[in-house]
Amino acid sequence: GENVEQHPSTLSVQEGDSAVIKCTYSDSASNYFPWYKQELGKRPQLIIDIRSNVGEKKDQRIAVTLNKTAKHFSLHITETQPEDSAVYFCAARVGGSNYKLTFGKGTLLTVNP
Amino acid sequence: GAVVSQHPSWVICKSGTSVKIECRSLDFQATTMFWYRQFPKQSLMLMATSNEGSKATYEQGVEKDKFLINHASLTLSTLTVTSAHPEDSSFYICSASLVTDTQYFGPGTRLTVL
Protein backbone atom coordinates (compact mmCIF):
# COMPACT_ATOMS: atom_id res chain seq x y z
CA GLY A 1 0.00 0.00 0.00
CA GLU A 2 0.86 3.67 -0.07
CA ASN A 3 3.39 5.00 2.45
CA VAL A 4 3.78 8.71 3.18
CA GLU A 5 6.78 10.15 4.99
CA GLN A 6 6.64 13.68 6.37
CA HIS A 7 9.45 15.92 7.60
CA PRO A 8 10.19 17.63 9.85
CA SER A 9 8.12 16.44 12.78
CA THR A 10 8.47 19.83 14.47
CA LEU A 11 9.26 23.23 13.01
CA SER A 12 9.70 26.51 14.83
CA VAL A 13 9.94 29.80 12.94
CA GLN A 14 9.80 33.48 13.70
CA GLU A 15 6.76 35.44 12.66
CA GLY A 16 7.17 36.67 9.11
CA ASP A 17 9.55 33.89 8.10
CA SER A 18 8.69 31.13 5.65
CA ALA A 19 7.98 27.52 6.60
CA VAL A 20 8.44 24.47 4.39
CA ILE A 21 7.16 20.97 5.10
CA LYS A 22 8.10 18.07 2.87
CA CYS A 23 6.44 14.74 2.14
CA THR A 24 7.40 11.75 0.05
CA TYR A 25 5.13 8.99 -1.16
CA SER A 26 5.80 5.49 -2.35
CA ASP A 27 3.08 4.63 -4.86
CA SER A 28 3.64 6.18 -8.28
CA ALA A 29 -0.09 5.72 -8.98
CA SER A 30 -0.99 8.37 -6.36
CA ASN A 31 -2.69 11.29 -8.04
CA TYR A 32 -4.13 13.54 -5.33
CA PHE A 33 -2.24 15.26 -2.52
CA PRO A 34 -4.10 17.35 0.08
CA TRP A 35 -2.70 19.24 3.05
CA TYR A 36 -4.64 19.57 6.27
CA LYS A 37 -4.18 21.90 9.25
CA GLN A 38 -5.28 20.66 12.64
CA GLU A 39 -5.41 22.80 15.75
CA LEU A 40 -5.36 21.10 19.13
CA GLY A 41 -8.59 19.20 19.75
CA LYS A 42 -10.11 20.38 16.47
CA ARG A 43 -10.94 18.80 13.17
CA PRO A 44 -8.43 18.70 10.30
CA GLN A 45 -9.11 21.53 7.87
CA LEU A 46 -8.18 21.26 4.20
CA ILE A 47 -5.89 24.17 3.36
CA ILE A 48 -4.71 23.30 -0.12
CA ASP A 49 -4.53 20.32 -2.45
CA ILE A 50 -2.86 19.43 -5.71
CA ARG A 51 -3.48 16.83 -8.37
CA SER A 52 -0.86 14.95 -10.30
CA ASN A 53 -1.41 16.86 -13.53
CA VAL A 54 -0.21 20.09 -11.90
CA GLY A 55 3.25 20.95 -10.62
CA GLU A 56 2.42 23.87 -8.38
CA LYS A 57 -0.58 25.54 -6.81
CA LYS A 58 -0.79 28.72 -4.79
CA ASP A 59 -3.43 30.27 -2.56
CA GLN A 60 -2.37 33.56 -1.01
CA ARG A 61 0.40 32.74 1.50
CA ILE A 62 0.20 29.00 0.94
CA ALA A 63 1.66 27.03 -1.95
CA VAL A 64 2.18 23.38 -2.73
CA THR A 65 4.68 21.93 -5.19
CA LEU A 66 4.68 18.41 -6.59
CA ASN A 67 7.56 16.50 -8.15
CA LYS A 68 6.12 13.30 -9.59
CA THR A 69 9.47 11.98 -10.74
CA ALA A 70 10.94 12.19 -7.27
CA LYS A 71 7.59 11.36 -5.64
CA HIS A 72 7.61 14.23 -3.24
CA PHE A 73 5.48 17.26 -2.55
CA SER A 74 5.96 20.23 -0.28
CA LEU A 75 3.91 22.84 1.55
CA HIS A 76 5.23 26.38 1.61
CA ILE A 77 3.84 29.02 3.96
CA THR A 78 5.16 32.54 3.53
CA GLU A 79 4.92 35.49 5.93
CA THR A 80 3.99 33.18 8.77
CA GLN A 81 1.71 34.43 11.54
CA PRO A 82 1.13 33.09 15.07
CA GLU A 83 -2.28 31.78 13.98
CA ASP A 84 -0.50 29.49 11.53
CA SER A 85 0.70 27.50 14.54
CA ALA A 86 -0.87 24.02 14.32
CA VAL A 87 -0.15 20.48 13.21
CA TYR A 88 -0.01 20.06 9.45
CA PHE A 89 -0.65 16.73 7.75
CA CYS A 90 0.09 15.78 4.19
CA ALA A 91 -1.75 12.94 2.51
CA ALA A 92 -1.73 10.99 -0.72
CA ARG A 93 -4.45 9.15 -2.57
CA VAL A 94 -3.88 6.30 -4.94
CA GLY A 95 -6.05 6.46 -8.02
CA GLY A 96 -9.04 4.14 -8.00
CA SER A 97 -8.75 3.41 -4.28
CA ASN A 98 -12.22 4.64 -3.33
CA TYR A 99 -10.71 8.01 -2.38
CA LYS A 100 -8.80 6.53 0.55
CA LEU A 101 -6.11 8.86 1.89
CA THR A 102 -2.84 7.85 3.50
CA PHE A 103 -1.58 10.50 5.92
CA GLY A 104 1.89 11.53 6.96
CA LYS A 105 2.73 11.64 10.66
CA GLY A 106 2.28 15.38 10.89
CA THR A 107 4.42 18.45 11.52
CA LEU A 108 3.93 20.65 14.57
CA LEU A 109 4.54 24.20 13.36
CA THR A 110 5.14 26.88 15.95
CA VAL A 111 5.29 30.51 14.84
CA ASN A 112 6.91 32.67 17.48
CA PRO A 113 5.77 36.29 17.69
CA GLY B 1 -20.72 24.38 2.23
CA ALA B 2 -19.39 20.83 2.83
CA VAL B 3 -20.09 20.72 6.56
CA VAL B 4 -19.75 17.48 8.48
CA SER B 5 -21.05 17.06 12.02
CA GLN B 6 -20.42 14.40 14.62
CA HIS B 7 -22.31 13.46 17.72
CA PRO B 8 -21.50 13.23 20.53
CA SER B 9 -18.42 15.44 20.78
CA TRP B 10 -17.26 13.53 23.81
CA VAL B 11 -18.42 10.46 25.71
CA ILE B 12 -17.34 8.62 28.82
CA CYS B 13 -18.46 5.05 29.27
CA LYS B 14 -17.80 2.04 31.45
CA SER B 15 -15.71 -0.86 30.24
CA GLY B 16 -17.85 -3.48 28.50
CA THR B 17 -20.52 -1.11 27.25
CA SER B 18 -21.15 -0.04 23.66
CA VAL B 19 -20.97 3.47 22.28
CA LYS B 20 -22.48 4.81 19.08
CA ILE B 21 -21.03 7.79 17.22
CA GLU B 22 -22.93 9.54 14.44
CA CYS B 23 -21.44 11.31 11.45
CA ARG B 24 -23.61 13.50 9.25
CA SER B 25 -22.98 15.48 6.12
CA LEU B 26 -25.19 18.52 6.62
CA ASP B 27 -25.32 20.21 3.24
CA PHE B 28 -24.28 17.58 0.76
CA GLN B 29 -24.79 13.93 -0.04
CA ALA B 30 -21.65 12.00 0.70
CA THR B 31 -20.86 9.15 -1.62
CA THR B 32 -18.28 7.84 0.79
CA MET B 33 -17.61 8.29 4.49
CA PHE B 34 -14.45 7.41 6.36
CA TRP B 35 -13.74 6.66 9.99
CA TYR B 36 -10.40 7.53 11.53
CA ARG B 37 -8.84 7.08 14.90
CA GLN B 38 -6.30 9.51 16.30
CA PHE B 39 -4.21 9.01 19.42
CA PRO B 40 -2.65 12.02 21.15
CA LYS B 41 0.12 13.64 19.11
CA GLN B 42 -0.27 11.05 16.38
CA SER B 43 -1.56 10.99 12.86
CA LEU B 44 -4.93 9.98 11.52
CA MET B 45 -5.27 6.24 11.11
CA LEU B 46 -7.98 5.08 8.74
CA MET B 47 -10.21 2.45 10.29
CA ALA B 48 -12.76 1.86 7.55
CA THR B 49 -14.39 3.21 4.43
CA SER B 50 -18.13 3.07 4.01
CA ASN B 51 -20.42 3.60 1.08
CA GLU B 52 -24.13 4.10 1.41
CA GLY B 53 -26.05 0.84 1.28
CA SER B 54 -23.03 -1.46 1.26
CA LYS B 55 -20.76 -3.08 3.79
CA ALA B 56 -17.85 -1.11 5.10
CA THR B 57 -14.32 -1.91 4.04
CA TYR B 58 -12.07 -2.24 7.06
CA GLU B 59 -8.37 -1.59 7.15
CA GLN B 60 -6.01 -4.36 8.11
CA GLY B 61 -5.93 -4.91 11.85
CA VAL B 62 -9.30 -3.27 12.55
CA GLU B 63 -11.83 -5.69 14.02
CA LYS B 64 -15.07 -5.37 12.09
CA ASP B 65 -17.07 -7.08 14.85
CA LYS B 66 -15.80 -4.59 17.40
CA PHE B 67 -16.18 -1.45 15.32
CA LEU B 68 -19.56 -1.72 13.63
CA ILE B 69 -20.19 0.72 10.83
CA ASN B 70 -23.56 1.43 9.31
CA HIS B 71 -24.05 3.79 6.39
CA ALA B 72 -27.81 3.95 6.12
CA SER B 73 -28.12 7.03 3.93
CA LEU B 74 -26.06 9.45 1.89
CA THR B 75 -25.91 11.81 4.85
CA LEU B 76 -25.46 9.52 7.85
CA SER B 77 -22.89 6.98 8.95
CA THR B 78 -22.58 5.50 12.42
CA LEU B 79 -19.69 3.85 14.23
CA THR B 80 -20.50 1.62 17.19
CA VAL B 81 -17.68 0.61 19.47
CA THR B 82 -18.87 -2.63 21.02
CA SER B 83 -17.72 -3.92 24.40
CA ALA B 84 -15.45 -0.94 24.81
CA HIS B 85 -12.26 -1.25 26.84
CA PRO B 86 -9.82 1.40 28.09
CA GLU B 87 -7.50 0.80 25.13
CA ASP B 88 -10.33 1.94 22.84
CA SER B 89 -10.12 5.40 24.37
CA SER B 90 -9.20 7.74 21.54
CA PHE B 91 -10.31 10.59 19.30
CA TYR B 92 -12.59 9.24 16.56
CA ILE B 93 -13.04 11.41 13.49
CA CYS B 94 -15.20 10.86 10.48
CA SER B 95 -14.90 12.43 7.07
CA ALA B 96 -17.15 12.57 4.06
CA SER B 97 -16.43 13.08 0.41
CA LEU B 98 -18.40 14.16 -2.59
CA VAL B 99 -17.71 12.57 -5.93
CA THR B 100 -14.35 14.33 -5.94
CA ASP B 101 -11.28 13.51 -3.92
CA THR B 102 -11.79 16.08 -1.20
CA GLN B 103 -12.57 14.78 2.26
CA TYR B 104 -14.29 17.03 4.77
CA PHE B 105 -13.80 16.14 8.39
CA GLY B 106 -16.19 16.13 11.30
CA PRO B 107 -15.21 17.76 14.61
CA GLY B 108 -14.35 14.42 16.20
CA THR B 109 -15.58 12.45 19.20
CA ARG B 110 -13.40 11.96 22.23
CA LEU B 111 -14.11 8.56 23.76
CA THR B 112 -12.94 7.73 27.26
CA VAL B 113 -13.53 4.22 28.53
CA LEU B 114 -13.23 3.79 32.27
Q: Is the pLDDT of residue B112 over 90?
A: yes
Categorize the per-residue pLDDT at A109 as very low, low, confident or very high, splitting at 50, 70 and 90.
very high
- Whether the Cβ atoms of residue A60 and residue A45 lie closer than 8 Å to each other: no
pLDDT for B1? 66
Cβ neighbours for A58, distance < 8 A, ≥ 6 positions apart: A64
Categorize the per-residue pLDDT at B99 as very low, low, confident or very high, splitting at 50, 70 and 90.
low
pLDDT for B51? 85
Chain B within 8 Å of A19 (Cβ-Cβ)?
A: no
Residue type, A35: W
- The model's pLDDT over A11-25, given as tens digits with 9 standing for 90+, comes to 999 999 999 999 999
What percent of chain B stands above pLDDT 90? 75
pLDDT for B105? 94
CA-based torsion, B40, B44, B46, B51: positive or negative: positive
Q: Do A36 and B105 touch (CB under 8 A)?
A: yes
pLDDT for B57? 92
Q: Which residues of A touch B58 (CB under 8 A)?
A: none
For A86, name the nearest residue in chain B, comparing CA atoms only.
B41
- The model's pLDDT over A26-77, given as tens digits with 9 standing for 90+, comes to 999 999 999 999 999 899 999 999 999 889 999 999 999 999 999 999 999 9
With an 8 Å Cβ cutoff, the interface of chain B facing chain A consists of: 32, 34, 42-46, 49, 51, 57, 93, 97, 101-108
Q: Do A43 and B43 touch (CB under 8 A)?
A: no
Categorize the per-residue pLDDT at A1 as very low, low, confident or very high, splitting at 50, 70 and 90.
confident
